[in-house]
Structure 1
Amino acid sequence: MTHNTLTLIMAGRRARRRRWLLVTSSLAALACILCGAMLMLGSTIYPVKDVIRALSGEQLKGVSFAVSTIRLPRMLAGLLAGFAFGLAGNTFQTMLRNPLANPNVIGITAGSSAAAVFCIVILHTSDAVVSVASVIAGLATVVLIYVLSRGRTFSVGRLILVGIAIQAMLNAVISYLLLVGAQQDIPAALRWLSGSLNGAQMDELPSLAITVLICAPIVIALGKHLGLLELGEQAATSLGVNADITRIVLILSSVCMIALATAATGPIAFVAFLSGPIAKRLVGVGFSNVIPAGLVGVNLVLAADLIGQFAFEVRFPVGIITGILGAPYLLFLLIRMNRKGDL
């Protein structure tokens, strides 16, 4: 390798690093702005100084209750859930080398949703029981999908097909539960299914926060191995990666985050699906887009919630806005994959 070639390689790497730093810092700054907007905006708009005083514990008439009790839990729920959805969705898409391989499409969130609807319309349980049941069901669903798709060797296509089949079955179960459920329970179930930050409570967030703080660093630390898995199992193994163990750790970490986020906010549509591709296009090649994908998820959830609250005469849950954004992209992706012969 000549000196000029090495110089060009190093220059290209520095340029990619600068781009990664610029994109990541810009996404983080945008997330901070949106967090501030979530705390300031509402039926009454409070100035920044009043918000800071309320968050510091000072009692201000009207401001303290609105900011600390209503807006802060809503903002934190969107922040944590968006990061979890973005990180986990990108992990599945990269590891399985398929943009369709995200928790929404392959049935993981459908498992959590079916359990939640069953608890709401049949058992009439509390919100805490709904959350626990949705987490357990999400974990059980991913284990079932992984076992059924395993075979003699791991197959991405088989996992996606099994996941889609499981999702269709669980969606049928949800429809049946809504059909036979009591009329007064249906609105609560539909609000949960649409994905919403309404009614977020501080006492519901510690479990999600702890899960994200534990699982997100694991996924980030395995980001390099995740990139090698994208090359294929044989290539990753030849480069010293234990593909099975790495895949299991990544799947378990991602599913835990997805399950807890779904339990806290409901299955916010398309955030896990959109975050990875957007981050990859912004960051480019050469560096991991794990952290940018999580930040894209945060920005999507917070921005969609603000749009749903203030852009229309009627307030819409965040899941409806993200669904409007994500559905056209899904159609575009399916058309492009069909033309390339990937379907």
Structure 2
Amino acid sequence: MKTNRAVRTPGGLSVRLDVRALTVVLLLLLAAFAASVLLIGTGDFPISAGDVVKTLLGNGDPGQEFIVNELRLPRVLVALLVGASLGLGGALFQAVSGNPLGSPDILGLGQGATAGALTMIVLFSGSANQVTIGALVGGLVTGLAIYLLAWKQGVHGYRLVLVGIGMSAILTAVNGYLLTVSDIVDAARSVVWMTGSLSGRDWAQVWPLLALCTVLVPLVLANARGLRMMEMGDDVSNALGVRVERVRALLMISAVLLTAAATAAAGPVSFVALTAPQLARRLTRSPGPNLLPSLCMGAALLVVADWASQRLFGADQMPVGVVTGVVGGAYLLWLLVTERRAGRI
């Protein structure tokens, strides 16, 4: 089956179109929308899918409009934006490092954001907004430290992963220490945040994430061609006119921002950044970073996981981070076995 097709634009340019990848993106968007409608209708006051759609279009009764638009829609939008940010950030890290294990979960960015949040909770008894800022700052500082420590005439993929694993171990110890010196109230609050949850999310979390994605997603997609050329090696990419270190630094900064913002909004939701790019690549069967399919896969994964947690365990009984952690951990074990059998690790 032919999956690539050349499309000629009115200006005379020839654009390569991957039909299979485009189909996967459309199906993932459809799945994300369907899961979002089901999630909005799930809760102590169930609403049918038809009534949810009617309410979203402005034709619901006042009670349904309050429940849908004020209570449940912000949570679903946060899930979509967090999942999309983690999926895209994970695809960028894996493409830059050239390693399927090069995700924020392995590199320690989640632990860095957690350290920032725990610092605000334990040492300063910070408010929700201050905890969010602490998590964002912690993720950014961790990303910068990993990049600088991995730098040696450029950033090599395996060096980046090794430095990230070391940083993750250090930050895990720091987080454990912060928990041991906290009082019982702050410790309980910290553990809830560390689990990764969408409970209680409102429009205050939606707008910053939406603004960040509006800026970064087009910027990242505009550099997708350079990222794909970089897979052939730095020397070849430079010969083809790609400013390798500039593109790599720009994409790394974007990936860190996306991951840190997602973690600040919902806590360290595990393994979405690891599994989404790999699943997207297997569905599209296309080489390269698969940035847009990874973004859509991350959004669909997180919404489906949140819906499944509510359907199986009841509203807000099982944090979504537990579900993604179990599924993602099993996938990580499978990936490690597969890579070992292929002789790549």
Q: Structure 2 length as normaliser, TM-score? A: 0.91
For 1:213 and 1:108, how far apart are their aligned partners in 2? 22
- Whether the 8 Å contact between 1:20 and 1:287 is mirrored in structure 2 is no
How much has 1:39 moved relative to structure 2? Answer: 1.5
Which string of whole-angstrom CA distances, capped at 9 and with x for unpartnered residues, describes residues 48-73 of structure 1?
45435544567845423321222111
**Are the equivalent residues in 1 in contact too, given 2:38–2:49 (CA < 8 A)?**
no
Q: For 1:136 and 1:13, locate their aligned partners in 2 and report how far apart those are by CA, in whole Å.
A: 42
Residue 82 of structure 1: SS of its match in structure 2? helix
Please, what is the CA RMSD of the aligned residues? 2.1
Following TM superposition, by how much is the alpha carbon of 1:335 offset from its aligned partner in structure 2, in angstroms? 2.3
Which whole-Å CA distance do the structure 2 matches of 1:133 and 1:295 have between them?
Answer: 28
1:14: which partner in 2? Answer: 5
Q: For residues 93-130 of structure 1, what are the alpha-carbon distances to aligned partners after superposition, in whole Å with 9 as ceiling and x for unaligned? A: 01211011111110112111111012112211111111
Q: Which residue number in structure 2 is paired with residue 342 of structure 1? A: 344
Segments of 5+ residues of structure 2 without an aligned counterpart are 7-16
For 1:36-185, list aligned pairs within 5 A: 36-48=37-49, 50-52=51-53, 54-55=55-56, 60-185=61-186
| Gaps in structure 1 of 5+ consecutive residues | 1-7
Residue 204 of structure 1: CA displacement?
A: 2.4
Equivalent in the alignment of 1:191: 192
Q: Is the contact between residue 90 and residue 293 of structure 1 (CA under 8 Å) also seen in structure 2?
A: yes
* 2:107 alignment partner, SS class: coil
Distance in 1 between residues matched to 2:57 and 2:339, nearest whole Å: 51
Deviation at 1:288, TM superposition (A): 5.7
In the alignment, the residues of structure 1 paired with residue 20 and residue 130 of structure 2 have an alpha-carbon distance, to the nearest angstrom, of 45
Aligned match of 1:253: 254
Q: Kindly indicate whether the alpha-carbon contact (under 8 Å) linking 2:115 and 2:171 is maintained by their aligned counterparts in 1.
A: yes
Give yes or no for contact 2:83–2:299 (8 Å, CA) kept in 1.
Answer: yes
Change (3 A) 1:57 1:245: same
| Further displaced range: 71-80 or 308-317 | 308-317
Provide the secondary structure at the position in 1 that maps to 2:45. Answer: coil
- CA–CA separation in structure 1 for the residues paired with 2:288 and 2:181: 50
Provide the rounded CA distance (Å) in 1 between the counterparts of 2:52 and 2:338: 46
Structure 1 residue 312: Cα displacement: 3.0
Is 1:329 aligned to 2:320, yes or no? no
Query: Aligned letter for 2:272?
Result: V
TM-score by length of 1: 0.91
Shift of the alpha carbon at 1:208?
Answer: 1.0
The one-letter code sitting in structure 2 at the alignment partner of 1:40 is G
Alpha carbons of structure 1 residues 111 and 12: separation in structure 2 relative to 1, 3 Å: closer
Q: Tell me, in whole angstroms, the C-alpha distance in 1 between the residues paired with 2:81 and 2:154.
A: 35
Residue 193 of structure 1 aligns to a residue whose secondary structure is helix
Q: Following superposition of structure 1 onto structure 2, how do residues 169-318 of structure 1 map, counting pairs within 5 Å?
A: 169-285=170-286, 289-312=290-313, 315-318=317-320
For the 8 Å contact 1:85–1:272, the answer to whether it is kept is yes
Deviation of 1:14 after TM superposition, in Å, equals: 2.6
C-alpha deviations, 1:33-89, integer Å up to 9, x for none?
111112112112213454355445678454233212221111010010000000110
Letter in 1 for 2:218: P
User: Aligned partner of 1:296: which letter?
Assistant: M
Distance apart, 1:308 and its partner CA? 0.9
Q: Deviations over 1:261-280 (max 9, x none)?
A: 11000111000000111001
Classify 1:287/1:23 alpha carbon distance in 2 versus 1 (closer, same or farther; 3 Å): farther
Report the alpha carbon displacement of residue 221 of structure 1 after superposing the two structures with TM.
1.3
How far did residue 341 of structure 1 move? 3.5
Give, in whole Å, the separation in 2 of the partners of 1:242 and 1:126.
Answer: 43
Aligned partners of 2:161 and 2:287: how far apart in 1? 27
The secondary structure found in structure 1 opposite 2:126 is: coil
Q: Is the 8 A contact 2:37 2:53 kept in 1?
A: no
SS of residue matched to 2:198? coil
8 A contact 1:85–1:261 mirrored in 2: yes
What is the CA-CA distance between 1:18 and the residue it aligns to?
A: 2.0
